[in-house]
Chain A
């Protein structure tokens, strides 16, 4: 199974809402990532977890809160987002030590109204 799954596929939320994005992989990978991708732009790294510990936070605003409950799951908790946070949020996984070969999920299309 070389699949990374993400739910939901689409999410519309207001600026006062709290929601969560979920990501799951069953490839035994021990590194997981969140990326943000705006239209016609490349993916931008947000967070990296390695062995369930947060390794990299690319100065992401605190309204985004990642969580890695176990080696297969990765969540992104959202609160008080801004319209400019509307984007495609991608999850990826890899086998550390990472050499860059990541497996990506289909993404969650987030719209903040």
Chain B
């Protein structure tokens, strides 16, 4: 069965701290991987995506993610978080028209 697992449900960091959010997936076949972000009061936005090629992908606002095929992982990273990064982050896997979202990680960045 297809599934996406996010390891951390709640993360609290101070500004300038480094961030890594874990994501593991289970999916048969070719996968497309995503991180979406939902800022407070705003709609879901695409943060970054991986289809193929370089396993290290860069997204908006200084975020990056690394696809490790052998570990079925797609972890999100940012070297130095800002207060404005406070949001909920969803890892997602898609095949065809179906996208499966992880449970989400709520990040709170203390100023």
Contacts and interface: CB of A to CB of B under 8 A. Distances in A.
A40 B99 CA distance: 18
Given A42-B90, A56-B97, A100 B102 contact: no
Question: Secondary structure at chain B's binding surface: helix, strand, loop or mixed?
Answer: strand
Interface residues of B, number: 24
Residue in B94, B97, B102 with the greatest tally of chain A CB atoms within 10 Å: B97
Contacts of B102: 42
B97 A107 contact: no
B32 A100 contact: yes
Residue in B33, B92, B101, B102 with the greatest tally of chain A CB atoms within 10 Å: B101
Given A42-B101, A42-B102, A45-B99, A100 B34 contact: yes
A101 B36 CA distance: 10
A9 B66 CA distance: 36
A33 B90 CA distance: 18
Interface of B: 32-34, 36, 42-46, 49, 51, 90, 92-94, 96-104
13 contacts: A4-B43, A41-B103, A42-B103, A55-B97, A97-B96, A98-B94, A98-B97, A101-B34, A101-B46, A104-B36, A104-B45, A106-B43, A107-B43
Interface of A: 4, 31, 33, 40-45, 48, 50, 55-56, 90, 92, 96-107
